[in-house]
Amino acid sequence: MRKEYYSDIPADVERSIHYQRKEKENIGKYLALILRHKPEVIGISLDEHGWGNVEDIIKGIRKQYPQMSMKLLEEIVATDSKGRYSFNGDKTCIRANQGHSIHVDVELKEVIPPDILYHGTAVKYVLGIKDKGLIPKSRLYVHLSKDVDTAVKVGKRHGDPVIFEVDTKQMIKDGYQFYLSENDVWLTKEVPVQYLKMKALGQEKWLEDCQPDIDLD
């Protein structure tokens, strides 16, 4: 992340800017919690398609963050680097595009994916994936990326990145379904081990020592 300097700005103003950015980040995380996992933390419920009433959400978040407003909500949605959220047409409702642990139908359309997709993870999860494949755990779907660069960014969130290639072409032939979220994340219910091929990034020796039968490309 680029570090910005405010050499011509008074220290108290710079601290205020930093505080506002941190608060916006915290509100964004709180919004993700509400729309993906626990809407009850602010006393609301989502409809069957994951939509929540914007006025109720703003009121609920204000109990924790008094500065919450429609303007700030619009800014969070517009500037979210992962495109996590969508408004409905008149901005009276909002929902997360994917990543839910609660059972909602975000009206995903089945789409034929590219022949290969990618999954970014960390070294510490490799043995579990080798054993069980990719499973959604607390989420409703396994999340996949369209290119290696995006998968690497995902993997780095969890530690030293490792990339798995997913043979989606063969999965489609075998009857598996894929979906594409509004923010271009590929989703599927699971990826069994036989469809995975691992690409390690700088961890080849460690992985070979731990599990010599892993196919490294």
Supply 43's token pair: 């006393």
What pLDDT score does 7 carry?
55
Element (H, E) at 54: helix 54-62
pTM assigned to the model = 0.69
- CATH class for the region spanning 11-96: mainly alpha
Supply 140's token pair: 């409703």
What pLDDT score does 158 carry?
83
What are the mean pLDDT values of the chain's consecutive 10-residue runs (217 residues total)?
56 66 91 96 95 97 96 94 92 94 88 96 91 91 94 88 95 96 92 90 48 37
Alpha-carbon gap, residue 186 to 92, rounded angstroms: 27
Q: Write out the residue limits of the CATH 3.20.170.30 domain(s) in the chain.
A: 116-210
Element (H, E) at 16: helix 11-32
What pLDDT score does 107 carry?
84
Tabulate helix, strand, coil % of the chain (nearest 5). Answer: 40, 20, 40
Q: Write out the residue limits of the CATH 1.10.10.970 domain(s) in the chain.
A: 11-96
What pLDDT score does 48 carry?
92
Are 143 and 186 in contact, with CB atoms under 8 Å apart? yes
Architecture of domain 116-210: Alpha-Beta Barrel (3.20)
